[in-house]
Amino acid sequence: MRTHVAIVGAGPAGLLLSHLLAQDGVDSIVVETRTRAYVEARIRAGILENSTVELLRSCGLGDRLDREGDPHRGIYLQWPGERHHVNFADLIDRKVWIYGQTEVQRDLGAARDAAGQQIHYEATDVALHDLGTEQPHVTFTDADGRALRIDADAIAGCDGSFGPSRAAVPDLAKQTWERTYPYSWLGILADVAPSTDELIYAWHPDGFALHSMRSARVSRFYLQVPNGTDLADWSDDRIWDGLAARLGHGQDGWALTPGPITDRSVLPMRSFVMAPMRHGRLFLAGDAAHIVPPTGAKGLNLAVADVALLAPALTALIRKKDPGPADAYSDAALRRVWRCTHFSWWMTTMLHTGGADGGDPFDAELQQSQLRWVTSSTAGATGLAENYAGLPIEF
Ligand code: FAD
Ligand code: DHB
């Protein structure tokens, strides 16, 4: 097969890239290891920042988001005895939207269907070749067991943190940075109306907790747990009791309503950046190039921002034979990546405590001091608002 861009991975980065390229008259073929049903059902991110929403609207993907998405003006930050609202809309005139990654993925799938996009789900043995030449290619075995090859002008590595694209860049050609955190998140989805109008991020001596949501009838919660936590040790009662204590059930008359848990998982927390986000004719986007801990709600938004820069760069390279934007892609994307890496690290280290281990009392005082400053100073709150609601894509 021959196409302009071979895209490895049909997550948000891969499908959005194929969509944006098609709008610029650039063809692509997408290869994905999982089934479409699996990709569309994966429970992951839930918050879209302002620039993500604007981009999705501008490329014709905003209709259902505008009908069903829930704009939020800000978030609550709390610690025992206190809850404060940080109002992004008032501070910086920007909002965030509750719209699950599952919905973004389904909208992208429907748009690519309508355009007749070629996507090979359930591919195996996906391998990248000849990246240092102007005719790279991808080989794989398709769902019917046929060995196939895609010749392209460029390859987009949108295959997340475990895909073959990052690994295809030789060690001598890349630099990486990594931070692992000494805690994980236990995430649940519950069939119950949210007990809050906007998200609550809670600092608590037992560990961080987050009350999020997916709709008027579905709530999403996260609890800080130790690394290596076994889900079997967390009964429904233990989860709800932990959430009630950390989120402040009973505080100023606020009540947490529990409900049936429909999904649960444990997520490790990691920061990772690889540079450059390019090797020859391979361009990396999204989790393939960088991972952030989820506390700042940045992973999905960063993947969208990368692709928003990469699509015009590949269009210029392929249609106009202009390598300028492609050469500038990695540095431009990495500026935003490092900003979001810092913000995600900052939110994470401000809100996670020693948990069951007790933690360092000095750290706990610093965290509460920082929370008090962020929620009481306009300068502090504005910094958080700018980063959380999202800086412009070209930041
Ligand atoms: P992905 O969505 O990972 O897509 C990559 C795709 O490549 C996948 O479909 C994968 O199957 C495919 N692939 C892998 N290997 C191959 C191969 N060999 N060949 C072809 N295809 C391949 N972010 C938040 O902001 N908030 C959250 O709450 C949150 N929760 C998360 C929970 C989990 C369990 C995970 C893993 C991530 C979470 N994230 C969250 C991060 C966010 O979901 C990601 O940043 C986002 O999905 C990145 O999109 P992507 O397209 O770059 O990568
Ligand atoms: C969600 C996840 C996050 O990491 C976050 O910071 C906010 C919301 C969510 O899944 O709803």
| C-beta of 153 in contact with ligand 1 (< 6 A) | no
Evaluate whether 348 touches 269 at the Cβ level (below 8 Å): yes
How far is the centre of ligand 1, averaged over its atoms, from the C-alpha of 104 (Å)?
13
Rounded CA-CA distance 176/83 in Å is 38
Beta bridge pairs of residue 97 = 48, 71
Q: Is 209 in the pocket of ligand 1 (CB under 6 A)?
A: no
How remote is the CA of residue 48 from the centroid of ligand 2, in Å?
10
Asked if 309 contacts 297 with a C-beta cutoff of 8 angstroms, the reply is no
Helices within the chain (DSSP H only): 12-23, 36-41, 50-58, 63-68, 88-92, 101-114, 164-168, 236-247, 299-319, 324-351, 361-376, 378-389
Q: Ligand 2: which of 96, 208, 212 to mutate, judged by most atoms within 8 Å of the beta carbon? A: 212
Q: Which has the closest alpha carbon to 52: 371, 299, 393, 284?
A: 393
Tokens of 71: 């704009």
Determine the atom of ligand 1 nearest the C-alpha atom of 161. Answer: 3
Output the pTM of the full model.
0.97
Atom of ligand 2 nearest to the CA of 214: 11
Active site residue 99: no
- Supply the residue whose CA is at minimum distance from atom 7 of ligand 2: 297
Active site residue 4: no
pLDDT of residue 356: 67
Looking at ligand 2, which atom is closest to the CA of residue 347?
6
Task: Check if 388 is active-site.
Answer: yes
Residue 126 near ligand 1, beta carbon < 6 Å: yes
295 lines ligand 2 (CB under 6 A): yes
Ligand 2 centroid to 221 CA: how many Å? 8
Q: Which of 76, 99, 222, 388 is catalytic?
A: 388
| 52 touches 98 (CB < 8 A) | no
CA of 63 from ligand 2 middle (Å) equals: 22
CA–centroid distance, residue 47 to ligand 2 (Å): 6
163 lines ligand 1 (CB under 6 A): yes
Taking CA atoms only, the protein residue closest to ligand 2 atom 1 is: 46
Cβ atoms of 240 and 192 closer than 8 Å: no
Q: What distances in angstroms separate CA 267 from CA 100, 229, 231, 242, 347, one per listed residue?
A: 17, 10, 11, 17, 17
For a pocket test of ligand 1, which of 265, 274, 300, 336 has the largest count of ligand atoms closer than 8 A to its C-beta?
300
Q: Please say if 290 is a catalytic residue.
A: no
Q: Is 310 in the pocket of ligand 2 (CB under 6 A)?
A: no
- Of all protein residues, the one whose alpha carbon is nearest to atom 37 of ligand 1 is 44
**Burial (0-12, 13-18, 19+ Cβ within 10 Å), 229:** middle
Ligand 2 centroid to residue 213 C-alpha, Å: 8
Q: What is the pLDDT along the chain (395 residues), one digit of tens a residue?
A: 999 999 999 999 999 999 999 999 999 999 999 999 999 999 999 999 999 999 999 999 999 999 999 999 999 999 999 999 999 999 999 999 999 999 999 999 999 999 999 999 999 999 999 999 999 999 999 999 999 999 999 999 999 999 999 999 999 999 999 999 999 999 999 999 999 999 999 999 999 999 999 999 999 999 999 999 999 999 999 999 999 999 999 999 999 999 999 999 999 999 999 999 999 999 999 999 999 999 999 999 999 999 999 999 999 999 999 999 999 999 999 999 999 999 999 999 999 998 767 789 999 999 999 999 999 999 999 999 999 998 888 77
Looking at residue 98, the DSSP 8-state letter turns out to be: E
Ligand 1 pocket residue status of 111, Cβ below 6 Å: no
Q: Which of 294, 325, 329, 352 is catalytic?
A: 294
201 included as an active-site residue? yes
Residue with tokens 């999403």: 220
- Is ligand 2 within 6 A of the CB of residue 387? no
**CA atoms within 13 Å, Cβ hemisphere of 115:** 25
Question: What ligand 1 atom has the least distance to the C-alpha of 14?
Answer: 51
